[in-house]
Chains A and B, each alone.
Chain A
Amino acid sequence: MTAELLVEKRAGEQSIVLEKRAVLLAPSTVAGPKESRGPLAGSFDRCYDDLVLKEKSFERAECHMLEEVCYLAIGKAGLVPNQIDYYLGGDLLNQIISASFCARKLAIPFFGLYGACSTLAESLCLAGMMIEGGFARNILVAVSSHNCSAERQYRYPTEYGFQRPGYAQWTITGAGAAVIGVSGDGPRLESLTPGKVVDADIKDPYDMGSAMAPAAADTIYTHLNDLQRDPSYYDLIITGDLGGVGKKLNEAILERNGVRIAANYTDCGLLIYYPQQQVDAGASGCACSALGFFGYYYPLMLKKEIRRILLVATGALHSPTTFLQGESIPAIAHAVSLEI
């Protein structure tokens, strides 16, 4: 086999075009109390009205949500756990414990991924490649985040009182899962652009929108460039959780590079809550892109109101240790193009 043949599915610098059918099926979402009072309340499969879910810790509660949403997705796809070939996923906590503990219960071969809030797109990218390579028939992708477990790991204890800056974002309590299969009704994964790690020298851990926007801009720009597409090729370009500040910055960076996306561009971080819910710049967390895309845009795709979507989930790859030591925040964004 020549080298030419090996790389025939690659496009441009870093993109991949999928030729086989990798279909996104059975998207499922569960959401916590604050999200259940937001504008998307009606589109979640299950809403919880307390934060601990009768478990003994926030970490257990997050794992509980993740298990729940995995079983929901597998059930919706008409499968049982041992028909799933691989489980890809992650979360925000140290050692991605929610995903690993959930995998312990599911007993499916598991790849734990960490891409902070970009984990959903990272999982989708790898699932697409696995299906394309013929290594699997059904892959479960699942992500979760919990406001309190993330808050206590990254910032302050949950009951600690302080003033949040206006550009801070609110970590979502929720989880999302879907099955990537080879057949069925649903949007297919059409092309992927795994992103590079980009560091724009932002040091404030509350300012994640500004830290992640350059990564999102870089991935969107590279994706469009690699596949020789105009932003208008997509009915909608969705970023994961840039929030109000990051969304504007992303638009501005792309505009300076000659790409105008404002007309068909939206951010999941601005979808989940009402402005009066006091979340400042918007939502964030692994579950943000999952709740926004699976909950709101997937049904629109099934109705064929939207046919082409570019999902770009972004993640800030810092830790509480690195920011205390004065390091800047590196960020990453992965893009997945879906078509129906």
Chain B
Amino acid sequence: MSAEKFKEGKGVLIDQNWFQSWHKLKQPRPPLVKNILVAFFAGGIVCLLGQFILNIYISLGVPVEQAGNPTVATVIFLAALLTGFGVFDNIARLAGAGLAVPVTGFANSVTSMAIEFRREGLVLGTGSKMFALAGSIIVFGVVTAFVVGLISALI
């Protein structure tokens, strides 16, 4: 039975308008305010941690304008490590966008795919599936950077 015929099927009769409004009304909705607040603070903590790591690199003698790169690498490493230990998904479930938007989310998506498909082999598993989730971030990141670069060159 297609959705259309379902309305006049032989079994139960469902009024589609009623169904849609019931569904809209009774469906549990995400706690938006809570999620936003938690994401704000979780994201803030990640940034604070980043700043802390950055300051360590600077105090170790890395020039200020170059200290960003090892900092990002360290945060990626930490997120990958937490993913490997099976902790990241539990934290991210609570933190939501706070962990998904910073580089931690990117690291998690790559590492989790790499772990998940390890059993299908190093080449056809880990190697080819690793960027299946993160691939779109890279593609659209590069495209956006190109467009923005083009605009700034023209202005």
Contact = CB atoms under 8 A, between A and B. Distances in A.
Contacts of A163: 30, 35, 92-93, 96
Interface in B78-120: 83-84, 86, 88-93, 95-96, 99-100, 105, 108-109, 111-113, 115-117, 119
A32 to B, nearest CB: 15
B27 interface: yes
B146 interface: no
A21 interface: no
A281 B1 contact: no
Contact of A245 (B2, B9, B27, B90): B27
A328 interface: yes
Contacts of A256: 13-15, 18
Contacts of A197: 1
B47 to A, nearest CB: 18
B11 A160 contact: no
A197 to B, nearest CB: 6
Contacts of B84: 159
A196 B13 CA distance: 14
Contacts of B3: 199-201, 328
A248 B12 contact: no
Contacts of A210: 23, 27
A57 B118 CA distance: 10
B40 to A, nearest CB: 14
Contacts of A53: none
Interface in B19-68: 19, 22-23, 26-30, 35
Nearest to B27: A167
Interface string A61-80: 00000000000000000000
A156 to B, nearest CB: 7
B30 A159 contact: no
A305 interface: no
Interface stretch (A101-109, A171-179, A214-222): A214-222
B93 A162 contact: yes
A156 B18 contact: no
A159 B108 contact: yes
Contacts of A248: 26
Q: Is the interface of B mostly helix, strand, loop or mixed?
A: helix
B116 A152 contact: yes
Nearest to A202: B23
A40 B10 CA distance: 38
A165 to B, nearest CB: 6
Nearest to A328: B3
B6 A200 contact: yes
Nearest to A159: B112
B6 A158 contact: no
B149 to A, nearest CB: 31
Given A160-B113, A221-B12, 17 more contacts: A13-B10, A156-B133, A157-B116, A159-B112, A160-B89, A160-B112, A161-B90, A166-B30, A198-B9, A198-B11, A199-B2, A199-B3, A214-B19, A222-B11, A245-B26, A249-B22, A252-B26
Interface of B: 1-3, 6, 9-16, 18-19, 22-23, 26-30, 35, 83-84, 86, 88-93, 95-96, 99-100, 105, 108-109, 111-113, 115-117, 119, 133
Interface of A: 13, 56-57, 152, 156-167, 196-202, 207, 210, 214, 217-219, 221-222, 244-245, 248-249, 252-254, 256-257, 278, 280-281, 328
11 contacts: A159-B108, A160-B113, A161-B83, A198-B9, A199-B3, A200-B3, A210-B23, A214-B19, A217-B12, A222-B11, A248-B26
